[in-house]
Structure formats: C-alpha cells, structure tokens
Structure 1
Amino acid sequence: MKTTELLQESGLNSGLMAGLKVLDCTLRDGGYYNSWDFPRPLVERYLRALDSAGVDVIEIGFRTVPRKEFLGPYAFCVDDYLRGLPLPARAQLAVMINAKEYVDDPTATIRRMFAPRAESPISIVRVAANMGEVAKCGKVFEELSRLGYRMVLNIMKVGGMHPTQVAECVRQAREFSALEAIYFADSFGDMRPAQVASVLKLISEEWSGDIGFHSHDNMGNALANSLEAIAGGVKWVDATVLGMGRGAGNVKLETLLLELVKRAGANYQVESLYSLVMDDFEELRQTHHWGPSLMYHLSAAYGIHPTYIQEMLGAEHYDTHQIITAYNLLKNNSRAHQFDRVELLKAMKGFQAGAPGSWNAEGWVGDREVLILGPGSGFKAHREAVIQYIKRRNPFVVCLNTAIDIPKELVDAYAACHYSRVLVEFERYRELRRPILMPLGCLPEQVLEKLDSVHVLDYGMRVEPYRFEAEARGCMIPRLLVAPYALAAVSAGGARDIKFVGFDGYGTGDPRQTEMEAVLSCVRRATPHLQLKALTPSTYSLECGSIYAPEPIEERSAQGAAAAPSTSSTRPPLNQLVELQTLAPEESRQTVIVKRTEVLAAVEESVGWAKPKRS
C-alpha cells in the first residue's frame, strides 16, 4: 500500500497531532556505525537544525557504563560534556540506558552514572529492555524517579514476541513508579502495519499511559509502520536523520515530518533539516552505507539480529560468498536473534564438521610443477600465454574459480570450499567433468545431495586463525579462502614449486590485501620448502616471474622428452573421446552414450580418477 493511501485510509488528521512527541535518536542509534564518535561541528549543526525544525525530544546518545574499549562521547553523554554543546532551547534532551548494564546492582550503578535531574541537561531517560529483563527493571526506575527524571520503557524485539509475552511485559511495567510511556520497538524491522496495529491495541488494553513506537527499515516498512502507529494513537514516535541507525536504519526524520505536515497539518519546519540531510548526513551515508538491502530484508525475515549483517557488510575483507554462507548458518541458529561476536566468527568460518576428508592427497601432484589459476585480470590479459605455458611445460593445474576461461582439458582440478559457491556452481561442476577439490565434511546435507554425480576429491578442512597445516586427508587454514585450501592440498600432494597466475592482489591498505598477506605469511612459516612465485603481475609479497620468460635450453629439451608420450600426462587421452564423435551413423544414440560412459570410466580408472568413497 502506498504511503498516501495509508494516510487516507487511516484517517490521519490534526487531532492525532495533539500531544504527539517526535523523538530523534540519530546520535544514539546511528552511533552503532562509528562507535558514537561524531565530529563535534556536525553535532552542533545537528542540534541547531533539529531545534529549528521543532523536533520535540532529542535522544543525544547512551549513558553507557564504561568498559574496556574506545567509545565516542555520545556513548556516555557525560553531563559536563553536554553542557559544552549548543543545547536546544525548545527540544528536551534524553539518553538511553541498556537495562542489562544496570539491573545487577541498580542502586549503586544509577547513583554512579546519574546526577540529580536538577543538575543535569538531561530530562528524560529511556530504559531499553529485552523481554526477560523487563521484570528486573523496577529498582532502576525507582532510582531514576528518586533523582527526578522522566522515564520511558523501551521493550525491544516485539516483532518476534507472542502476544501473551507482550501483555505480560506490559503488566510487569505497570508496577514501575512514575513510568511515563511504554515503547514497543520493531528491532528487526520485520513488522508490517497490521502487526503494528495489533500490538498497539494489545498494549492499550493493559496500559493507560502513553505508548511509543520505534521502527527499523529492514523490509522498507518503517514509514508505513510509523504512520500506522500514529494513526492508532501512539504519543511518542522515533525517527533519525536520513534514517541513520543500526542495520538498515530507521524511519527518516525528514520524511516523517514532511508527511505529518502535509497530511495532518503538523507544525514542523522541515526546511531546517534540508542542508543537514543533503550535506552532512548524505556524506556519512556514503561512508557507512546504512539503509535497506537484500541482506537486511533476509535478516528480518529469519529473525537474525541486524548487527550480524552490519558487521559483515562493514568488514571489507568478507566477500559475498562468505556473507551468504554465514547468513545460511545464522538463519538456522536459534541464538541468532541476539548478537554475539563469537557466533559471528563461527558463522564466518562456514560449515565445519571437523572431520578429515575421505580422499588422500598423498602423491597427488608428484614432482610436477603446480600452476594455480586465479580469477584476476592478470589471467585474462595473458590468457594465450598461459595456455601455451601449460601445453609447453605440462604443470599440474588447479583452478580457483570455475568461471576462469580456460579449456577444461588443461585443468587437473578445480577447488572450492565456500558453501555458497558450491551451492551456486554445482551444475557447472557436472558440466566440467573434472575433479573438484572440496571439503564435504564442511558442507550441509542439502548441498551434498546435489553433488552425487560430481567427481569430488574430499579433502578435509578446518579454519583456525594463524594456523596452516597440510596433511594427507585434510588441512587447517587461517581464513576461509579457497587459495590457502588449494595450497594445502597441493602441498600435501607433494608440491614443491608453485606458480600463480591471475593472483593480482589489491591496493595498499585494502583489508583483502592484508588478509591474504597474513595467509601467505602463515603458509611460509609452516612450509618453508614451498617455492611460491607469481607469473603475472601481483601486489602480494610473492617472488616475481613472467609467464613469457624462456626456460633454459636443456630444461626445455628434458620437458619435451618427458611430455612426448601421451600417457605421461594425467589428463585423459583425448583421441579416445574424439573417436566417439565419429561412430557409424547406424549406431544408436543409446549405444553412443554407453560407449562414451565406458570410455570415460576407463580413462578415469587408468589415471587414478576413480571417485573416492565419502565418509
């Protein structure tokens, strides 16, 4: 439903504006992106603009209990610091506290963190509590009331709660002294207008005081939900400048005020915000990239805490496949509704059963030179030279990507270790009819089912920071990347001389560059006998060579003699396959298929490609 239709159907009018308080929480909710360390000049412009616009309450940040990490000033909102700002003349100032930081010893903690209201620029304190924390907040409100503050309860993650749980939280809150309002927060951004109306009605039946609503925009419903809440009678509604807030962000303050002015005649001077939005906060958005996206929508749909997505998207060294892998893990994790950095790290490692593979890499490579092909521009620019190099030197070729444009008969194996890449490319594996190096023990059952007709070299894998170990049936690698996985397999297979093509690298300071350099450092420490060289341009700390460099005459002669018999290569005798194309016309298609299958089976058996048993 369009916003204008919602406004018309909901009967939003000037009568609903009476007593409505628009609370801006940009510095508090947006601080998740910069550790609450906003530039002071920006904050000064922000405060002046919001006061001029007529915003009723400015929640300027958290009143966080100090911990062992750097956080900016708006994580603490110390009274003395706030007094140095151009505080608003009209709008009231608020801070939020997290109940979990205060409920264990509320009296001592409140008295340590809050001066009496008369001595502070803060007038309103919001207490954010999860369902299981609400009942423990009574003493917190008692202490805040004693100090003279206006108090609001913010019940989080209401979208995932059963109606009876919501009602019970409200009944518990009714017992708190001097509580002014109860907020319900769509923390995961998964609520729709009808659910907002339902929760609002439920709270109204248990609570006669003011009700507030806090939106998130994971599914693009923040504005519609906020308008539905206002139409239903809430007296407090949150917004942030340009929607800046955790994860997908919140309803945009400027948009909400425009709709209230246009449709209900509200008295807000929205023009005061335009410069702030278009200059200051648009620049911030270009840096921090908040706002709705596919991943935030999925997190809302499956009850994943948005901070997981924010952390993954904000860390440039995680690629798309790692993020998709982690998402698929988290959506089946019953603990993912609460952010936990340990769970994030587990998810980023991917599916790991920890079992060794069923395939033995010992002797796989023999004494051949290994050529690892990456997807970088170095391969594309020198493709013909690479092909000639392979034909001339007959190295053992491993591809890190099935999309690399090279004749498949020149490739000894492809490598894959990302769950999401395997899921996307399994059809391609079937088409290639080449061995695929992958850790079956790290893949979920639904992926294994798709690999029945794929020739898998089941080489086990575990991910442990700062560790690189290559054993016959599996490896330990420092990061979930296919390059170290392939390096481990060829190392276990007997490789000594490893060349790279299309292994371009990134610029100085790029997290992906730093990550791969750390991986290479681990590899060198664990396997000093390996000779690693790049044959196309690379920014990694590898020995440099050239795909065009000639070999010594005597070496070339030796290689030519060794490569002359067709049986010396581990690749199939292609003439047998070609002969299948010239079968007599009278032979049936079925006969062709049978003969093709028989020859391929014989070829694979002859070169040791028999499909390994999977354990």
Structure 2
Amino acid sequence: MDLEKRNTPYILDCTFRDGGYYNQWDFDDDLVEKYLRLLALSGVDIIEIGYRFFKSKDYCGPFGFCSEEFLDGLNIDSKISVAVMVNASEVLSSKEDLDRFKECFVNAKKSRVDIVRVATYMHDADKTESLVNYLKNQGYIVCINLMKISESSEQEIKSTVKQINEWKTPADVLYIADSFGNLDTEKTGKLIDLASNYWDGDIGFHAHNNQGKALTNTIAAMKRNAAWLDSTILGMGRGAGNASTESLMMELNQENADDEQRYDSKAIFPLVVEEFESLKREHGWGHSLLYEVSSRYSVHPTYIQEILYKKEKYSTDQILRSLDKLTTTDSTSYSTEIAESLLISSDIVKGDWDATEYAEDREVLILGAGPEGSRNSDQIETFIQRKNPLTLSLNVNRSISEDFIDAYVIVNRVRLLTELNKNISSEKDIILPLHILSEDMRENVKSKKILDYGCNISSGVMSASNSHCIIPFELAIAYALSISIAGNANKIYLAGFDGFEIHDPRQDEMLELFKLFKSISSIPIVSITKTNYPLEKRTLHDPSI
C-alpha cells in the first residue's frame, strides 16, 4: 500500500472486525462473498478483515484468527489493502503468546495482510514498542490504536504520543479511538490537533456512535487532517456501533464535489439492504439511551450489550438499577464478575404490605386493556354489580368507571409515571412494588393509598407469598395473578385479554405465564371476553357465571 500523502483520506472499513463481536467473528459465506465483491466496486481503500487472536476461551469464527490459510481462500480484490488487528494485552501477557504472535506474522511479502493495527490502552502504549518494531521489520504498515484516549489528560496524551513518536522504529499511523463514544466535534478536533503536535506520521480516527455523533466526529477529524477514517457497513460494531461506511463515502464525495468522486457508495447499497438491515434487526447495534448514558459515564460497552441481550428477561427497574450501579463504579474496563452480578440480586425484594387476606374466599376480576374489554364495558360493569368480585385494573382502565374498581395494579416504573397523571382517586388502592420508585417519585405518591407488594423478575419462575412475588416477565397481569394467589382468591375472571398474533413474542410470554400459573396454583381462571389464550371461556351474557 502506498502511504504517500494525498488530498483525500483513506477509508478503512472494519465491519468484520468490529461487527464480529455480535456473531463471534463467524460470517456467512454468501455474505462474505458479496461484501468483498461490492466493497471492491465501491472503491474502499482498506478492509480490516478481522482480528488475529492467538487463543480463545470460547467459540470464535475464522475472522477472529485471520490465518494466512484462511485469507488465501478469500477472493479479495488486489486493489484493496488488507488489515488485521491485534490486542497488545493478549500478545504481551506471556512469552508463549509473544512467540505465537511472531509465528503468525510471516514476512509481509508472503502475506495477504498489508497493515497490522496494534490496539493498546494509553497506559500500556510504551510496552508495545517491541511489537511495532517486529512488525515493521517484517514489512507491514503498522498502526497503533490508542484506546480510551478521551479518559486521559492533555499531559498524558502529550507524553505518550511524544514517547512513541521517538521510538527507533515508530508506527506509521497513530489512531485516536473514541472508545466510549463520548466525544463531540470540538473535542475530536482538539484531540487530533494535540496528537498532531507530537506525531510525525499520519493520524487515524475510530468513532463510536453512543451519542449519535460517530459520523460528524469522523468528518471533524478529517477536517483536522486525520488521514485514516474508520467505518463499518450500516455502522455495525460493538455496542452503539460506528460511523457507517455508506454515509462516510457520501460525505467525502460531497466534500470533494468539484473533484472526481473517489467512492461509489451506491455499489454497497444492496449489501446494506439485503444483508445488514436484517443483521441489525437481529443484533440491535446502534444508538440507544443505554449506550448514550454509558458514554457519558465511560461505561465499557460490553456491559450494555449484555444488558440489552438479556433485557426481555428482566424488569425495567432491574435494568435501570444495573445502569445506576455501572455509572457509580469504575466500569471503564470489562469484568466478567461485575457483568454476572448486574442483573442478578441474591436479595429477594419484599414489600411491607401483607396480601394474605386481600381476596380471602372472593372471586377476582382482572381488567386488561384489550379491545374486547372496551367493547363489552357495559356488560362488564353489570357483571361487577351482580357478582361483586374484587376488581383489579391493570393500570388505569378508562372504559370501566372507577366506581367499579377496587385497586389499580402497576408494576412498571415508566407506566407509573404515566398513570399518576390520570387522577387516580386517593381512596382507591394502588398495588405496586414501592422499591421501583425513586425518592422523588415516592413524594409524588404520598397522597395515594399505596399497597407495597414486592416484585422480583426471574426468567422461567413464578411464585407468590404474602409480601412479594417472583414473576417471569415485567407484566402487570403476572403481578395481578400473583396478588390473587397470595390473597387466597377462589376464582379469577379475566376481561380484556384478547391475545396477540401467533408469532408475536408478547403472545409467547402470555402463554408461558399461564402455563407457569397453572403449575403453581389450582385457582380456576376464566375469560369472560373473547380471547385466543388457552383458557376456560365464558360469555358475559351467560346468567350462570
């Protein structure tokens, strides 16, 4: 690869390296073929084809090792330069690993790899001189990627950059990596300027999209003369992802509108639409609230990835408390022990209200929000007048008069904020797990009649005691069923539980919930409005119910 200065920067697409965190660096053969073919047509300068790990504790696909034999089998256009990345901490952990590193990097003339990027933290950068020296002597272009640089002081950056610039055989490119995605355009420019003052080679920039600024920061870096710019297809990358290659190409073409267009972004549009859109839906990378908060508190993105991966199994409150824990502790580096403890609490949260006699020998009617409940509201009110059940409304049900409701059941913190604005009577019971409320929110409900029944979420589990329950999902119906069990109801009626489409994941949750309910309780449960759930069904027009 020719490293002579040019008017436009290089685009380095690192989709398979950064995106590999989502599929263990194991990409489909057809996708790989299309990616390599269309990237070549687009005019991209460099493809970082993956990592070059030297060992792995878990399964890792071929793009995690990028052996010479594997790369020889790929149809990579000769015009494209190929890069791999190594983690300095892995190589320097033992003499055995260092020896393996040297074995894996044959002379560059015999390799399809042109560029090696050495990733290191600022405080370890000085230890990588021997690696850079070896790779340079083997004929590779070498980049040194400084991670978490935004967490370092100006003096630390100055000292580190100056030191590695003075090595006998310095790297060719110094990369600024916005590891937490917490830079803005101004800070990006200042970092590039600061590094440039003490670095004689090219500068590169690798952005993350935690705050939705990956592309604008990358352009800002370019305008401060960063010559190497990282991107990935559709922004695919760990956590919030990166600047997207297709967008970066369009931006660079626009910046050079008067000159010949260097990149053909349209060449990769089919790749984006046909392959990566579905991958994004499957893996969920991209900007989100959790990633934005993590960037502002310098939380390692892998923690957020794991929370998002498991979020369907845990309550909103558990997720928010986990985030609180991460933002108040040192979580800039990933720790398996911390990760395993985040969403798991050994302490069962109990409430201070005893539900034991709340429904003693009474029938309970639980009101849902389905259209059938609204359509039959008059008949439901007549049913309540006639049967006098203990009537529990899941959140606020406006189709049934408050006169017919005994208690409102709320289990979600966000839902509570919404419901409090609906003027629930201070005389009506509100059953909720008080522990989900912040101090400010507790002040807001002081005037309400709160019954504090503890709620804990654990996948595949359902149980109910006098002070708390354990439910598989953060669903108000699961909470209400638990209250009915704990309160010793003799029968449960449901109204307004129509059900969902067969492939809707919410339908699967409800089916699992009813299955768990029947495994722990013999209380009869009957739907009195139309439903597609496998329950006993009766009609409101039947005088015998």
Give the TM-score category using the shorter length.
0.7 to 0.9
Q: Work out whether 1:126 is the aligned partner of 2:117.
A: yes
1:489 aligned partner, one-letter code = I
Structure 1 residues 549 and 98: CA distance shift in structure 2, 3 A: farther
Report what 1:285 is aligned to: 277
Q: Work out whether 1:270 is the aligned partner of 2:270.
A: no
Aligned-residue CA RMSD (Å)? 3.6
Report what 1:12 is aligned to: none
Among 537, 542, 545, the residue aligned to 1:545: 537
> In 2, Cα distance between the equivalents of 1:68 and 1:383?
59
SS at match of 2:197: helix
Among 389, 398, 417, the residue aligned to 1:395: 389
Structure 1 residues 358 and 73: CA distance shift in structure 2, 3 A: same
SS at match of 2:277: helix
> In 2, Cα distance between the equivalents of 1:155 and 1:389?
69
Structure 1 residues 217 and 461: CA distance shift in structure 2, 3 A: closer
2:35 aligned partner, one-letter code = Y
> In 2, Cα distance between the equivalents of 1:425 and 1:339?
38
Q: Work out whether 1:48 is the aligned partner of 2:37.
A: yes
Q: Work out whether 1:255 is the aligned partner of 2:235.
A: no
Among 430, 441, 447, the residue aligned to 2:441: 447
> In 1, Cα distance between the equivalents of 2:269 and 2:199?
37
Report what 1:244 is aligned to: 236
1:358 aligned partner, one-letter code = D
Structure 1 residues 394-433: Cα deviation after superposition (integer angstroms, max 9, x where no partner) = 2212222225532122222112222333344333365564
SS at match of 1:427: helix
Structure 1 residues 246-293: Cα deviation after superposition (integer angstroms, max 9, x where no partner) = 34433233333344344346655423x314214544652255155445
> In 1, Cα distance between the equivalents of 2:445 and 2:260?
63
Q: Work out whether 1:153 is the aligned partner of 2:144.
A: yes
Structure 1 residues 442 and 423: CA distance shift in structure 2, 3 A: same
Cα drift, residue 196 of structure 1: 0.9
Cα drift, residue 25 of structure 1: 1.3
Structure 1 residues 448 and 393: CA distance shift in structure 2, 3 A: same
Q: Is the 8 A contact 1:45 1:276 kept in 2?
A: no
Report what 2:411 is aligned to: 417
SS at match of 1:490: helix
Select the structure of larger CA radius of gyration.
1
More displaced 10-residue stretch of structure 1: 82-91 or 336-345: 336-345
> In 2, Cα distance between the equivalents of 1:90 and 1:543?
64
Structure 1 residues 279 and 148: CA distance shift in structure 2, 3 A: closer
Among 329, 337, 340, the residue aligned to 1:334: 329
Structure 1 residues 323-344: Cα deviation after superposition (integer angstroms, max 9, x where no partner) = 9846863674434545667767
Which runs of structure 2 are paired with 1:348-363 in the superposition (5 Å)? 354-363=348-357
1:48 aligned partner, one-letter code = R
More displaced 10-residue stretch of structure 1: 512-521 or 44-53: 512-521
Q: Is the 8 A contact 1:242 1:277 kept in 2?
A: no
Structure 1 residues 383 and 156: CA distance shift in structure 2, 3 A: farther
Structure 1 residues 344-379: Cα deviation after superposition (integer angstroms, max 9, x where no partner) = 776667x99744221111111111111222223443
Q: Work out whether 1:228 is the aligned partner of 2:220.
A: yes
Q: Is the 8 A contact 1:16 1:231 kept in 2?
A: no
Structure 1 residues 563-585: Cα deviation after superposition (integer angstroms, max 9, x where no partner) = xxxxxxxxxxxxxxxxxxxxxxx
Number of positions where the alignment pairs a residue of Structure 1 with one of Structure 2: 535
Q: Is the 8 A contact 1:304 1:330 kept in 2?
A: no
1:531 aligned partner, one-letter code = P
Structure 1 residues 279-321: Cα deviation after superposition (integer angstroms, max 9, x where no partner) = 5446522551554455554544454445555566667847995
Q: Work out whether 1:103 is the aligned partner of 2:97.
A: no
Which runs of structure 2 are paired with 1:145-544 in the superposition (5 Å)? 145=136, 147-170=138-161, 173-174=164-165, 178-264=170-256, 268-271=261-264, 273-278=265-270, 280-281=272-273, 284-285=276-277, 287-289=279-281, 290-292=285-287, 296-307=291-302, 317=312, 325=320, 329=324, 332-335=327-330, 337-338=332-333, 354-403=348-397, 405-428=399-422, 430-431=424-425, 433-508=427-502, 510-525=504-519, 527-540=520-533, 542-544=534-536
Structure 1 residues 211-259: Cα deviation after superposition (integer angstroms, max 9, x where no partner) = 2101233434333322221222222111223433334433233333344
More displaced 10-residue stretch of structure 1: 39-48 or 504-513: 504-513
Among 47, 62, 65, the residue aligned to 2:51: 62
Q: Is the 8 A contact 2:235 2:241 kept in 1?
A: yes
Structure 1 residues 8-36: Cα deviation after superposition (integer angstroms, max 9, x where no partner) = xxxxxxx9844832211122223344444
> In 2, Cα distance between the equivalents of 1:474 and 1:116?
66
Structure 1 residues 464 and 316: CA distance shift in structure 2, 3 A: closer
Question: Which is richer in helix?
Answer: 1
Cα drift, residue 99 of structure 1: 3.9
Q: Is the 8 A contact 1:352 1:462 kept in 2?
A: no
Which stretches in structure 2 are left out of the alignment for 5+ residues?
Answer: none
SS at match of 2:172: strand
> In 1, Cα distance between the equivalents of 2:526 and 2:343?
29
2:373 aligned partner, one-letter code = F
Q: Work out whether 1:23 is the aligned partner of 2:12.
A: yes
Cα drift, residue 516 of structure 1: 4.0
> In 2, Cα distance between the equivalents of 1:534 and 1:491?
17
> In 2, Cα distance between the equivalents of 1:339 and 1:420?
29
> In 2, Cα distance between the equivalents of 1:332 and 1:316?
18
1:223 aligned partner, one-letter code = L
Cα drift, residue 545 of structure 1: 0.9
TM-score (norm 2): 0.84
Q: Is the 8 A contact 2:294 2:327 kept in 1?
A: no
Which stretches in structure 1 are left out of the alignment for 5+ residues?
Answer: 1-14, 557-615
Cα drift, residue 152 of structure 1: 1.5
> In 1, Cα distance between the equivalents of 2:347 and 2:415?
18
SS at match of 2:522: coil
Q: Work out whether 1:76 is the aligned partner of 2:65.
A: yes
Q: Is the 8 A contact 2:12 2:45 kept in 1?
A: yes
Structure 1 residues 389 and 329: CA distance shift in structure 2, 3 A: farther
1:334 aligned partner, one-letter code = T
More displaced 10-residue stretch of structure 1: 314-323 or 146-155: 314-323
1:83 aligned partner, one-letter code = D
